[in-house]
Amino acid sequence: MSDEGERAWAQAVAFTRDRSPASFDQWFSGVQFDSFTDGVLGLRARDEFVRQWVEDYFLPTISEWLRAHTGLSVQVRWIIDVALERPVAERPSSFAPVRPRAISVRPQADPAPVRADSDAQTTGVRRVLREDEPAGRVFAVPPPIEGLNAKYTFANFVVGPSNQLAHAASMAAAGVGGRRHNPLFICGGTGLGKTHLVHAIAYRVREERPDTRIVYISAERFVNEFVQALTDQRMHEFRARYREKCDLLLVDDIHFLAGKTQTQEEFFHAFNALHQGGKQIVVTSDKYPQQLDKMEERLVSRFQWGLVADIQAPELETRVAIVRKKAQLEHIDLADEVCLYIAQSVRSNVRELEGTLIRLAAKASLLGKPIGMDFTRAEMAATSTARPNEASVEDIQRAVCHHFKLRSIDLLSKDRHKSIAFARHVAMYLCKQRLKCSFPELGRAFGNRDHTTVISAVRKVEALRTSDPEVRAHLEALERKLGSLE
Ligand code: ADP
Ligand code: MG
């Protein structure tokens, strides 16, 4: 292996690190460079999982850099080397100037530029320490957790006003800092990042305290397992799993327990056992606890013992940051104006935002085109009903809440308090005026109300608009605000 080859590799890695998410070092600590000769790059990976990840996410950039700087097209030869079990890597600050050998990950003679634990020094093995980690603690590549998406980490989660509380509370639940609430109840509409946060908690806890017994389960699977345990007469095992052999319980989509009284009862006991034992419980739901249908009162009240953190649809700035982050993670080259256009066009949920980006990238790569503005406009016009600059129901609800100083959830609730009902009627009226939604659609968007309720609300506001100057002033202020959104 030539020194030049090694130097080229180190520079390519440094280049890639600067363009990669925070998880870069984490993954690279499981990789060792062997050689780079005549365009053949020899690498070792600790296991197949690391190999796959590095190959999918980082190698395209590294290979491209090497190709551009050596003129050789790059072929990679991997060796899976379990002897790499103790991951080794140097972690320079991401702002440090490019240093050759920055990530030559073999044990070597030159002095280690990062802190190493004493054990590591004796074996010549170095391990990565994260930036926020106090000296003396070791951070190793977390093994995948079954059933969890390895991309759903805190590093990949974009924080904005819409999800700030849920994010901070999740970090605290993972023991990262801040006041820990038990249980933590994360609620919000579909595709807004609840599952992402829960997986991130699991990964972070696994990283920080590998001995923690983490149980992650969707409520749907909890029901199935419960029924199976009953059928097989293995309730003893089932109970042990959720009451005794668990230090952190993460239950996704708890609303699925609606109407399943026997499972609710079982969950209630598991909850109590864990809570009494001081074990952290995190639950997600598409509704606030008090809005959960067919859920036992005692469970609903327990869900409110700790912190209820909601996630709202993200604002424009957050959507832009999310599109950027996803593009970066998926190695999609995206101009700022395209990023903004996508974020303006898809407003309701992050999953859709992500789907749009991936679809555009796939189509562009298929056609061998860059993702330019014209291409994006044409593609989005062909495939999407949403147009940029058109307010959505959520935008109107948000504007109304802001104007009347209410929470979005109030508009969807059954609360008949006069001021809340008035704001709700105004929001329905504005939606009807400005969007092409039918009355039943609006009924559904306002907490599943009957379409006749929407019709009468719209009529009422129409009448008040002419008869009551105060109402007219509210409407005009809101219309100005919505106009400026457009
Ligand atoms: P939910 O469980 O609330 O329905 P998910 O957690 O499955 O939503 O999120 C849907 C998709 O959107 C996932 O791919 C997730 O990574 C992404 N996502 C949601 N919120 C964010 C965010 N704030 N930053 C980055 N990605 C996000
Ligand atoms: Mg989910």
pLDDT tens readout for residues 401-443: 999 998 888 888 888 899 999 999 999 999 998 887 788 889 9
Q: Which regions of 48-111 does DSSP assign to beta strands (E)?
A: 75-80
**Nearest residue CA, atom 21 of ligand 1?**
193
Instruction: Tell how far the Cα of 300 is from the centroid of ligand 1, in angstroms.
Output: 25
Q: Which atom of ligand 1 is nearest to the CA of 197?
A: 6
| pLDDT-derived band at 114, boundaries 50, 70, 90 | very low
pLDDT at residue 168, as a whole number: 95
Residues 141-187 have pLDDT tens digits of 345 677 889 889 999 999 999 999 999 999 999 998 888 999 999 99
Cα–Cα nearest to 207, from 290, 276, 148, 288: 148
Q: Is the pLDDT of residue 259 over 90?
A: yes
Question: What sign does the dihedral 340-346-349-352 (CA atoms) show?
Answer: negative
pTM, two decimals, is: 0.59
Mutate to test the pocket of ligand 1, among 195, 196, 311, 317 (most ligand atoms within 8 A of CB): 196
Look at 42-56, 89-103, 250-264 and tell me which has the smallest mean pLDDT: 89-103
Q: What is the pLDDT of residues 291-304, one digit of tens each?
A: 998 999 999 999 99
Residues 6+ apart with CB under 8 A from 98: 11, 14, 15
Assign 266 a pLDDT band (cuts: 50, 70, 90): very high
Mean pLDDT computed over every residue of the chain: 82
Listed in sequence order, the residues at least 6 apart from 449 whose beta carbon sits closer than 8 Å to its beta carbon are 443
Domains of the chain are 3-80 (3.30.300.180), 154-311 (3.40.50.300), 316-383 (1.10.8.60), 393-485 (1.10.1750.10)
Under 8 Å between Cβ of 330 and 371: no
CA 337 vs. chain centroid, Å, equals 24
Provide the 8-state DSSP code for 83: G
pLDDT over threshold 50, residue 28: yes
Tell me how far the alpha carbon of residue 192 lies from the centroid of ligand 2, in angstroms.
Answer: 8
Residue with the larger pLDDT of the pair 470 and 50: 470
Number of H helices, E strands in the chain: 21, 8
Gap between the Cα atoms of 369 and 348, Å rounded: 28
* 350 CA → ligand 1 middle, Å: 6
Distance 349 CA to ligand 1 centre (A): 8
Ligand nearest to the CA of 286: 1
Question: In a mutational test of the pocket of ligand 1, which residue from 186, 350, 352, 358 has the highest number of ligand atoms less than 8 Å from its CB?
Answer: 350
| Ligand 1 lined by 193 (C-beta under 6 Å) | yes
- Give 94's pLDDT tier (boundaries 50, 70, 90): very low
CA-nearest of 174, 153, 149, 151 to 282 is: 174
Using one digit for the tens of pLDDT, what is the confidence trace for 148-157?
A: 898 899 999 9
What dihedral do alpha carbons 21, 48, 140, 125 form, nearest 10°? Answer: -110
Ligand 1 within 6 A of 192 CB?
yes
Q: Which of 12, 132, 1 is nearest to 67 (CA)?
A: 12
Strands 31-37 and 40-45: antiparallel
Biggest CA pair distance of the chain: 86
Give the separation between CA 387 and CA 377, rounded to whole angstroms. Answer: 10
For residue 230, count CB atoms less than 10 angstroms from its CB and return exposed for 0-12, middle for 13-18, buried for 19 or more: middle
Q: Is the CB of 190 under 6 A from ligand 1?
A: yes
pLDDT at 129: 33
